[in-house]
Chain A
């Protein structure tokens, strides 16, 4: 059974190395400050006892005050999963550091989030639209996008 690591466990494992960056957000997921996101992801991927090497999905949700980007990773060795979240408060050009260098599967999923939600990922090698054409007006999955 793939057990989801509870938020308390993850925070306790990470708080030694990243004291300010991590805090709980709900029972199962952890809120990470966007500046330290690549470092946390790298640590989760390579550290002993963690080894989260398989990325399930990357997506974004538009709560009207902020955008929340959600990542879920699974460890095939220990059969556990973890959910990370990060927030960007601005509606005009929100941006988050990219994980494309750490997980290759993050490449297209981040492009999809940029295309449909408008969140740019700093450090992404090829930040272009993937589903809609260049010149499309706006980002359709936002809550305030009208046709």
Chain B
């Protein structure tokens, strides 16, 4: 109608605090979100709510005594942290690990990678709205892996199994047959799971095209792991900078093209299959012999520095150690994946709605123990 005046609505952005204890933030993570209605304009992440000072505590303990502390960093995949720390100390002290120890390390590292991806995919689907069902199905598989870990070292989570120079105990006799029985079961489960979810309309609507991270931004920020591979960066430390005996196994490196949440989900599912393939090859070739090098309980590496890193389930996890020939490290810096992967969140989220913010945050897969250390 010509007589109707146009009423323009004056809006103002407002700031919402998504506090430290929140059901969708994985742990104690806080953001101040600047919103215009439902659209996110800006976020200000704030951490430190789980900052326990692990780097300072490690200066007061011996090298072997710091291994339980490293467990508590990325508590969703504890075996990987032990491995990264021991790789760094062995580089510093120039210790060679015997063959059997290396094969056991590879098997446990791949098992914990599968367990971590189960949790990551489950919680991302939980955040997207599938409240409970895929999460509990995947958690069941994680519990079966917990059973295997308990058979191996007595602990379900926070294993404290890998030592400097090898592993702490030998494989029990029933471990390898149980693992051989488990691998085809898990393969079948992943295929069934993908059958239901790969072409699911709701998942595609909520995850495809959402939260795109371009390749240049990812490289500039230092992103690694499945997050980088989903953006097209074909970099995996197991192939580019092999540690342990990874150069003897054949495996593919799945990458995505668009860098959105759906690609990250696909990359993680494919990585689970590749890990099963590596475990299959490793089980057949485990040699006999000692599982640990002759290393004293309290070691004194020569003065110097070293940086050892592994391809953890979330990305590149590294330890920078400086030693002054005493029983404790002079300085230990933890290059933590989640802290650096979180740098990209602000750029991925601008312009999306609050519900998408939750899904994007869930698809990065962080653990606050690693962010805050």
A and B touch in the complex (CB under 8 A): yes
B353 at the interface (CB under 8 A from A): no
Q: Is the CB of B335 within 8 A of A2?
A: no
A56-B220 in contact given A76-B235, A104-B343, A141-B55 (Cβ < 8 Å): no
Q: Is the CB of A54 within 8 A of B318?
A: no
B180 at the interface (CB under 8 A from A): no
In the bound complex, what is the Cα–Cα distance between A130 and B49 (angstroms)? 10
- The B interface, classified by DSSP as helix, strand, loop or mixed, is mixed
Q: Is the CB of B335 within 8 A of A76?
A: no
Q: Is the CB of B56 within 8 A of A76?
A: no
Residues of A within 8 A of B307 (CB): 56-57, 72, 83
B221 at the interface (CB under 8 A from A): yes
In the bound complex, what is the Cα–Cα distance between A96 and B241 (angstroms)? 31
Q: Is the CB of B318 within 8 A of A105?
A: no
B127 at the interface (CB under 8 A from A): no
A141-B56 in contact given A1-B241, A70-B320, A76-B235 (Cβ < 8 Å): yes
Interface size class of A (residues with CB under 8 A): 20 to 34
Q: How many A-B residue pairs have CB under 8 A?
A: 75
Give the residue name and chain of the A residue nearest to B247 (CB): A1
Contact of A53 among B219, B241, B331 (CB under 8 A): B219
In the bound complex, what is the Cα–Cα distance between A64 and B305 (angstroms)? 17
A50 at the interface (CB under 8 A from B): no
B47 at the interface (CB under 8 A from A): yes
Residues of B within 8 A of A79 (CB): 240-241
In the bound complex, what is the Cα–Cα distance between A108 and B373 (angstroms)? 14
B242 at the interface (CB under 8 A from A): yes
In the bound complex, what is the Cα–Cα distance between A55 and B343 (angstroms)? 13
Give the residue name and chain of the B residue nearest to A61 (CB): B331
Give the residue name and chain of the A residue nearest to B235 (CB): A76
Residues of B within 8 A of A129 (CB): 48
For B121-132 the 0/1 string (1 means CB < 8 A from A) is 000000000000
B residues 80-113 touching A (CB-CB < 8 Å): none
Residues of A within 8 A of B320 (CB): 57, 59, 70, 72
A residues 74-91 touching B (CB-CB < 8 Å): 76, 79, 83
Give the residue name and chain of the B residue nearest to A109 (CB): B340
Give the residue name and chain of the B residue nearest to A4 (CB): B307
Min CB gap B345→A, angstroms: 11
Give the residue name and chain of the B residue nearest to A70 (CB): B320
In the bound complex, what is the Cα–Cα distance between A133 and B233 (angstroms)? 36
Give the residue name and chain of the B residue nearest to A53 (CB): B219
Residues of B within 8 A of A26 (CB): 304-305
Q: Is the CB of A55 within 8 A of B48?
A: no
In the bound complex, what is the Cα–Cα distance between A141 and B240 (angstroms)? 33
Looking at B223, B305, B331, which has the most chain A CB atoms within 10 Å of its CB?
B331
Q: Is the CB of A105 within 8 A of B220?
A: yes
Min CB gap B85→A, angstroms: 15
Q: Is the CB of A133 within 8 A of B48?
A: yes
Min CB gap B70→A, angstroms: 16
B141 at the interface (CB under 8 A from A): no
B365 at the interface (CB under 8 A from A): no
30 pairs, CB–CB < 8 Å, chain A vs chain B: A1-B241, A26-B304, A54-B219, A54-B235, A56-B222, A56-B316, A56-B335, A57-B318, A70-B320, A72-B307, A76-B233, A76-B235, A103-B221, A103-B222, A104-B343, A105-B220, A105-B221, A105-B223, A107-B343, A109-B339, A109-B340, A116-B55, A130-B48, A131-B51, A131-B372, A132-B48, A132-B51, A133-B48, A140-B53, A140-B56
* 4 nearest A-B residue pairs (beta carbon): A105-B222, A131-B48, A2-B241, A59-B333
Name 14 extra pairs, CB < 8 A, besides A1-B240, A105-B221, A131-B51: A2-B241, A54-B222, A56-B335, A57-B335, A61-B322, A76-B233, A76-B235, A104-B220, A104-B343, A105-B223, A105-B340, A105-B343, A108-B339, A140-B56
Interface residues of A (CB under 8 A from B): 1-2, 26, 53-57, 59, 61-62, 70, 72, 76, 79, 83, 103-105, 107-109, 112, 116, 129-133, 140-141
